Each structure stands twice: as C-alpha cells, then as structure tokens.
Amino acid sequence: MYKSSGAKGGSRSHNLPATVTTGSVVLENLPGTGTWTLTRVQDGEIVTGSGSTYTVTGLMPGTWTYTVTTESGCTSGPSAAVTIVMGQDIPGAPVVGTITQPTCNVSTGSVFLSGLPASGSWTLTRQPDGATYLGSGTSTTLTGIPPGTYTFTVTSASGCNSTPSQSVTFDTQPSIPTPPVPGAITHPTCDLPTGSVVINGLPATGTWTLTRFPGSIIINASGTTFTVNGLNPGSYNFTVTNAGGCTSAVSADVVINAQPGPFPTLVIHNPDPVCAPGTADLTRPPVTAGSTPNLTFTYWRDVQVAVPLNTPSAAPEGTYYIRGTIPGGCSAVSPVTVTTYRQPTANAGTDQELTFVFTTTLDAVVPDENSTGTWSVLEGTGTFADPDNPKTTVTDLSQGDNLLLWTVSNSVCPPATDELLITVKKITIPSLITPDMDLKNDYFYLSGLEVLGKVELTVFDRRGALVFENLDYDNLWHGTNYNGEPLPDDIYFYVIKAENGLSFSGYLYIRR
C-alpha cells in the first residue's frame, strides 16, 4: 500500500495560501521497479511514471484518492483521502450574466459579471489581453469590449486570485451598407405619367430592404442593382437595410420631372358602313372632326401603335387605331371601326293558291339585323296589316292572280326583291250531274268546299218544293230526295250557305 506523505493510514487536509489557488500532495510507497500508472479516483485523471515517490500538483480544492496499477496490470486499493482546502480569502470565479453584442452603431460589446467579492475593492483581469478593471461590489457591467473570446479572473483586496470565468465571445460588428447610388433616371413621357430610377451599390449578398422617402415605401429584393418604377413627379431619397439589419445613410436626391404636355384632344367618328366587300376612307376629315386643330394623323392596326395600317384610305372591315400628334410631340390614340353590310337577300316565301279566300298570312324570311323589308302590290290588290312585317296579314285580295313584292334594304347596298304570287280561285259549282253511278259526274261536287267551313245545301224543284236538304254538306249528294230515292230528270234550284257568311244559288240539271 502506498501513502500520502505525512498521512500514514489517515486523511490529511492542506490549507491553500491566499495567493495559491491549487494544492499538491506527495504520494509514497509506489512500486520501486518498473513503470506504474497512477489514477485519481474522483475524475479518472491518470499519470504514468516510476519510482517509489511522486508529487501530484495542480489539485483544485476538494477530496481526492488514488490507486496505482503496476506494470504487470495489478491495481491497488484507494489511498487515504487527500483534502485540499481553499484559503478563506480566495474569491470564486466571476459569474457571466447578460452579454450585449456589438451593433450596427456600436462597435464594442458589454457583459454583466456577478459573484465578485462582497467586501473591499477588487481587480478584474480580462484574458488573453490582460486588460484590468477596478471596482467594488458583488456585480458590475464591463463595456467597450472589442470582438473576441475572453475569460475573467478577479483579485480580492487581500491579493488572492479566482479561477477564470466561463468564456465570453463577442461577435464582429455588423457591416453598415454604403448609401444607395442613384443611376439612370427615366422621366415621364407623353405616354407614361411616371418615371423610374436605377439604384446601384446595393448589398451584394443576402436580401436587402430598400426604403423610399418620402412615404417610407419599402422594396425587398437582392442583387447590387435595382430599378424603381412608378415614380410620380417629385424628389426622392433612398436608404438600404442589409440582411444583418444595418441601415445605410440617405442616398443623393432623385428628381423626377413633371409629365410633358399639353395633350391633344382626339375625337373619332366611325365612318358610315359600306357594302361588302367595300372599304372606307379613314383619312376623310369627318372621321376626326372635333379634334385639336393641326394634328398629324397616323394609322395603325394595334393599340400599341406598332403595326402601321398601310392603306388608311381604303380600309377593309375591322377595328384600327388613329394617333393624333401635336407639334410638341405628345399624342393621343383612339380606335376607329369600319363596318361592312352584306348584300341583302329577299325571300318572299312560297306562292299561295286560295279558293274563294281573300285573306292570308305572308311568310317572308326575316331580314338580317342591318336590313328592313317592305311589302307592296305589283298586280291585283291587297291591304297589308303591317307592310314592314315579313309575317303580316294581307286582306282584300282579288279573285285571280295577285302579285306581291317583298323588298329588303340596308340603305347601304342595292336593295333585293322577291315576288310572291297569290292566286284566289272561285268555287266551282256544277250545273249538271248524271247520277247513273258510272263514276263520272255522279255527285254534286263543290270544288273548294273545305275552305267554306260548314255548308248547308237545300234543293228545290221547279215548282219551289223542297226536295233535299243537308245542313253539313259533304259533297256526296247524287240527285236523291229525302228518302234516298232518285229524283227524276229535270231542272232544280239549289241554295248554298257557308259558315263563313258566303252564299250561292243557281240551277242544276239532273240527267240520268
């Protein structure tokens, strides 16, 4: 068994002088031959050596024991306890509190330290540069510390030194960007009421914030150059804030001029429609009547006035743009539309054939949206309920042929016409029937009976006696009396009354 010097079989305490912060102990009875390994039980720190005695130095205050392992690998039990006692006047290490890093406007940092000696004055020493601070009290704030990593020790009034504090690192001061540099300025033009400016000298890395004054309008972007658009006439300045949060000084003034003027008044009248495939002359004075005098007119196919209209005096159907420019250079642009009408067509409908009817409904094809139609009478007679309605009713037709005319016009192209023939036939009433049932002229057949509606037929002999009557005649009477018996050959008198108010009478000869 080895032992600590002067402590055979028991523990020994060592008080440290005020100016010493670590202790030592002499260990005896170590293996006299070969190499041994000394292990401190509490923290596992090892020392390799030889000889029967060894002095351990740099022991912090506390209680320590040791084991020794021989060269052959055998390990002893622990030694007697060795207690290192801190001297009463040795201060503890300063305690690091709030750390304030350098800012955009302050190049140094500060740190709050506590746990300093409560009585007397003390001296703080900053390592590694050795700067010192004098003071008193249990805490203090150290300012003006340049970027770097430091520890702090405190020396009490009695001259005892503490162990170092934990490390404190102060960052490098964030970089302050240079003021933005205004570059090319584009002023308002006749066509654009706002200007723009190219801003150079912006931070090369990270995202920055450009602030425009007045108004504190901000723009977030990246890159060393940026174009600010939409600037109304006036004076502006800019600052830039980099990704680290530091803001530059104000840039030089950027002055945006007022928009030039005056602006012309451009009045456009669309030309009258033309008949397809005709063209319109856009250069005629009536098209731009009412505009500012002495304008120079140019003609274009697009509102951007990029594609010229090469034939403005013969412009086909479509929408174009006229630009009027005053001598000072400002101009106005307005659209003009050329409209063409198709050659109209007229279709009066299908010819009609009526039997003893003098009224009918017409059925002409409706004209296109740019055209109107009108009925008139060429031959015969007719009265139209609405001469401009293609589906109107016509009355007072004449028996025979009535030739009507349907005229369609759009007031631009030549009118189109179409004729409609309405033939009104009379009702055919036979004067002789031969009811021998040989399928020839056997019945009293009224041609056109269907147009009369319900018809009453009465038949009288030559003496005036009623021999036959049918109140809803059906064209099937073949010379019989009430009882269906054949009437003798003779001359008879008939009366026909139609539901529509028409009536007919005459003589009929029956011959068998």
Judge contact between 398 and 424, C-beta under 8 A: yes
Dist. CA 262–CA 256, nearest whole Å: 18
Q: What is the pLDDT of residue 193?
A: 87
Q: What is the pLDDT of residue 13?
A: 53
Judge contact between 239 and 247, C-beta under 8 A: yes
Dist. CA 400–CA 393, nearest whole Å: 18
Q: Which two tokens stand for residue 491?
A: 């001359």
Dist. CA 240–CA 226, nearest whole Å: 12
Q: What is the pLDDT of residue 259?
A: 86
Residue 342, classed as helix, strand or coil, is coil
Dist. CA 399–CA 377, nearest whole Å: 15
Q: Which two tokens stand for residue 285?
A: 């004075």
Dist. CA 362–CA 147, nearest whole Å: 105
Please choose, from the candidates 430, 363, 416, the residue with its C-alpha nearest in 3D space to the C-alpha of residue 390. 363
In this prediction the pTM is 0.46
Residue environment code for 175-196, b if the CB has 16+ CB neighbours within 10 A, otherwise e: eebebbebeeeebbebeeeebb
CA distances from 197 to 208, 209, 225, 231, 248 (A): 18, 16, 11, 8, 18
Which amino acid, residue 334? S
Going by their DSSP bridges, the two strands 3-4 and 23-28 should be labelled as antiparallel
Phi first, then psi: what are they for 471, rounded to 5°? Answer: -80, -5
Residue environment code for 404-428, b if the CB has 16+ CB neighbours within 10 A, otherwise e: bbbbbbbebbebbbbebbbbbeebe
pLDDT tens track of the chain, all 512 residues?
A: 454 443 333 345 555 555 556 788 999 999 989 999 999 998 889 999 999 999 999 888 889 999 999 988 899 999 999 998 766 568 999 999 999 999 998 999 999 999 999 999 999 999 999 999 999 999 999 999 999 999 999 999 989 999 999 999 999 999 999 999 999 999 998 878 899 999 999 999 999 999 999 988 999 999 999 999 999 999 999 999 999 899 999 999 999 999 887 889 999 999 999 999 999 999 999 999 999 999 999 999 999 999 999 999 999 999 999 999 998 788 999 999 999 999 999 999 999 988 888 899 999 999 999 999 999 999 999 999 999 999 999 999 998 999 999 999 999 999 999 999 999 988 889 999 999 999 999 999 988 777 777 999 999 999 999 999 999 999 999 999 989 999 999 999 999 998 877 888 999 999 98
CA distances from 337 to 275, 282, 297, 324, 426 (A): 14, 9, 16, 16, 57
Dist. CA 94–CA 20, nearest whole Å: 17
Please choose, from the candidates 438, 439, 451, 454, the residue with its C-alpha nearest in 3D space to the C-alpha of residue 354. 451
